[in-house]
Structure 1
Amino acid sequence: MIKTLAAATLALGLGHAAVANEAIKVGVTTTGTPFTFVDTSTQATTGAMVDLAKAIAADNGMGANFEVSAFSALIPSLQTSKIDMISAGMFATDERRRVVDFSETVYSYGDAMFVAADDSTNYTLDGLKGETVGAQIGTTFADQLKALGTFGEVKLYDSLADIMRDVKLGRIKAGFGDAPIIAYQISKTPALGVRLVDGYTPMKTGDVALAVSKENPELLAKVNASIEKMKANGEMAKIFAAYGL
């Protein structure tokens, strides 16, 4: 009888341990500074959305295991159950909503304009008429700038770093990109030689949210409950503030 009771107690204890050690698989990308990126000093995946996912998991008594992939592979990985959730700098667009479910909005941002650090003029889009400006290939910003038809040229670049270099050297008048990414890089590396244009109004603003499978409404409910709690107690604001957001 004692042996049976002991065995039952052990089994119950192991059951609780399994629940406590349950982990959610979170998809991230390493190219979304400061939302998700690799800390070069530790080689660990970090960023605001990484910390947020950890906090949401902990709030639900779970751990978080991070699966790194290309941004374009995040939604396919979710659809094929390779991951349980996406926590990255991903906009909750109507097109994406057709294939995944998004949480409540956790952050909103648009594009930013940056100029050489020694250029004190706070330009508007109209104020750059006839000038050469830069944007990354494949971004909505590049398409929007071209559609305006007011610039002398919209040069396309492979990376934000290349745009910043040419702005600093005076090869182009201004550059455009994701506001939080630019702000974070400038704050960490003043030697880039560029600054954000004060008072600039983004051409378009998007809402960042976490994504889960349409087959997992239970997880979505838990994520949203945690988001509401963290918004109310200020924890979410602290997480984003830690990365200059």
Structure 2
Amino acid sequence: MRPILFVATALLMLPPALPAAAQETPMTERTERIGLEGRRGPRLTQPGFAVGEYTGHISARGSGARMPWASRDRATADLQVSAPALGEVTGACEGGQSHRSILGIQFDTEDLAYVCRYEGAPADAAMSLVLSRPGGLGGLMRRVQQPQRVAELTWNGVVYRAETRRIGGLPIGGGMVMGYVISRDGREVGGLDMNGFRPTIYLPPAGDADRDAVAVFALSLWAFPDPARN
């Protein structure tokens, strides 16, 4: 057999190479899984928390109005997070959504828009969260499973993205968001699982450059008093 033909035949016999995404270790196995602990906060309306080395407190408020011809939801949250390497970061968040309708025809719609600004963080630090409407049959199934949101956090020149996804537990959200997966440059680096007895946060390993940003991002998403409406 000629050498070139032999090489070609040998290559055909090799198993097909897996895509890079298929070779990637799952995010849940590359990160540190930490349950969120409740702690005493400054006052009853500001409960405290601890996630690994990150501690702090939140104050979140949600309000809504429902009428046959209109509805409106508003949400605000104040967040304080501290850690040895992070220092103290405070976040102020607010947003909402609304719609009006006449004779069943909806108009003047304001989609969900929720924004956080931070102090004690990098100068460009900001988070925004909006509705997501994935299309197709798969998108319809995801919307049935849980409300769909997508969020972005800018942190020291890096953009992190979060999208609603179930990480653990039963695939039944009861109309509530079950979790978020956080990615950077298309690679999953952390997550927030709210589909259990207590929230669980998946953080990059200690010392990783993404750890602080993912922690603040996940805690900001957890603190959001989500109206959970599509």
Same-fold status (TM-score > 0.5): no
TM-score normalised according to structure 2 size: 0.23
TM-score normalised according to structure 1 size: 0.22
Structure with more of its chain in helix, by fraction: 1
Structure with more of its chain in strand, by fraction: 2
